[in-house]
Structure 1
Amino acid sequence: MVLLKQGKMLTNYQMPGVYLQKVFSIPEPELITGVPAFLGLATAGSFNTPQLLTVWPQFEQHFGQSLSKSYLGYAVRGFFENGGRLCYVVRIEEATQSALPAGLDAIAPLDTIDLVCAPDIMLARQEADIRVMQNAILEHCELLGDRFAILDAWNRSIPEIQQQQQRLSNINGALYAPWLKVPSLEKATGTTLSEVPPCGHIAGIYARSDRAAGVYQSPANYVLEGGLDLSLTITNADFERLNSKSAKTGVNCLRSLTGRGIRVWGTRTLSSDPNWRYISVRRLFLTVCRWIERNLANVAFAPNDFKLWLGIERELTAYFESLFRQGALKGNTPQEAFFVKCDAETNPPEIRDSGKVVTEIGLAATIPCEFIIVRLIHGSTGVTVTT
């Protein structure tokens, strides 16, 4: 055994043999989820420069007091109120079609974020402008392939929200309604309540849910903190209209439930594809892609042979087994929950000659329980309740 003296390893070996060295490996950086980038208007700070925040008071330090016509401060405050711990804020020049792309370009290189929120685009006067900007955010998330958009519905009637819903379609985003009534940030005006988009509060719930259970847990049925009331009461009939089969995509609603507070009621994406219907399923796959990009980058330029294929299979299998143990994947055994295939069949000579290595993976993601059926069976011996 190699001895340590005053913190230094002795290396003057005198006799041939086997020597044991204790080496403590440095842990890999943790892959954190529930980290949003907020884009909006502010009174201070550099334009299109992401600023990391870990607590709410840092917002005014970097961006000044919230503008009278801005929802950015409310979104960031709502994020931290609901369990968020880490976010980036980007000050954009205007909440317009021409200014938004520069803000999106600023957050594109960030590999630490997995959520995008832009509450101030709801300030646009024209509905068409809002639609264009929301679709730009969705396209940004789709192009990057590692982030998910939290979008705000119009602060209007249910039929108008339906119209907005019908014009949005993407697997990398979700729509939330209605708006929230929250304590005003404008102390000088004496206004006590302000109506604001919910995206920041929702992002905080995503972060809270990820820490409590994991990214595969639906960020729904959580109490929303910081909201005193809703701008619109969504009835059961309204909820059914917004989430019917004919609607194809869903609207996740904030509902004030008797004795249970304001809760997030819904976990649907903006996709009509049944495979990507649920937020938790889509975010699980996005997180897997982030993990692969971070942990398999070291195999680039390695010899494309059996050893490489075996190493890729081993790394991915270990990761997916950890997801299976956490409950992210369904099945009684790992073999039922996932598969990894990287061999001569997925990498024929023409693929290898082009400098590529192809790995096929399959994951059986758990599906959220949306409907709880309770049966009351009346019989001669009494009533039996089954679920």
Structure 2
Amino acid sequence: MQKSPAAGRFAPTAFMLGNLVTGCSVLAPAGMLPELSAGLGISIHAAGLLITFGAITLCIGSPLTAWLTSRIERRTLLATTLAVLAFGNLASAFAPDYASLLVIRLVMLAVGALYTPQAAGTAALIVPAERRGSTIAYIFLGWSLAAAVGLPLITFMASRYGWRAAYGGIGALGCISFLLLLLRLPAGLKGTPVDLKTWSAVGRDRTVLLLLAITMLQMSGQFVVFTFMGPLLKKLTGAGPDAIGMVFGIYGLCGFLGVVIATRIVDTWGPYRTSLLFTCLLLAGIAGWALGAGTFVLMAGAAAIWGLGFASTNSMQQVRLVATAPPLASATVALNTSVLYIGQAVGSAIGGLLFAHELLHPLGFVAVGFVVLALVLVILTRPGPAAAA
């Protein structure tokens, strides 16, 4: 089928908006834990399990669905995934109880696990190799916008109109994104089929395995704190919903700026040096949160520095994986997304246990430990002088 030039040109933007919907779907409970707790008659810890169990579903679903759907035409696959996310969020708005909401979320995210890795892999099919790094980083702006705009809006809507209205808003955004993707993505695109030989090749590549470990450690450290960021601010500083929404906004806005900067410099600096820079910012921000716990201004300032590394570190991981083994990109990008969600599950589970036992200050220092280990691995994966970053 003949491609529309306009469609191809704006496809990365359609991908980016799809990531915005995906990010809001994954992160939404973090922005409205108190409302979910009060509305469903459950504890904050139980509400946080929506993120933990969702992350477990995502980490299993990402490589499994990448394998099962690798021969499906990309526009059909990605549009269907967005349709499921839209319907799942709309259904969540009408969930009668916690069990129903959890089941709807798990089914929705089992399919939604497809979107982020497949969008990145499909982008590699429609842009020149020299623009691949900046395009993938641009696509991940959607996740930054989910934190910069989505979470503050979710917090605002949930605190004033209830958690059901927040889910309804995400569902409406999903419908719009679904239509944009249908209009902007060329038809007839197919990726490299993923088979058992592909997974075997990934398992033998030491650099790929180390890069996947970096992703898991970075996300584990962040989600120890991020899952309970709102309740932590309330308990440690007495912050109300508007102040908490402001911190989410600062965090997300800086995440947006971080990806914009990464997009601008990655083709010149190379993925390794760009990744090293933003991992250091990530560590500085989380360390600042841990040391400033109890003082709202210090915690908000730390969230800003942390935000700079939030999405940019993950987008650089995607770029490095694609550059390290281009023929394995479909599998490695899916696995990277999977271990990202493993990190979310591990971090939110550890954070939940610490939060339930009122160990609020140690939360930040546990997060720092994970990110220090990630930084060590980033340094160990430094490419040789003649290697591509």
Q: Do the two structures share a fold, i.e. TM-score over 0.5?
A: no
From the two aligned structures, give the one with the greater helix fraction: 2
* TM-score for both structures, normalised by structure 1: 0.27
Greater C-alpha Rg: 1
Which of the pair has the greater relative contact order for Cα pairs under 8 Å at 6+ separation?
2
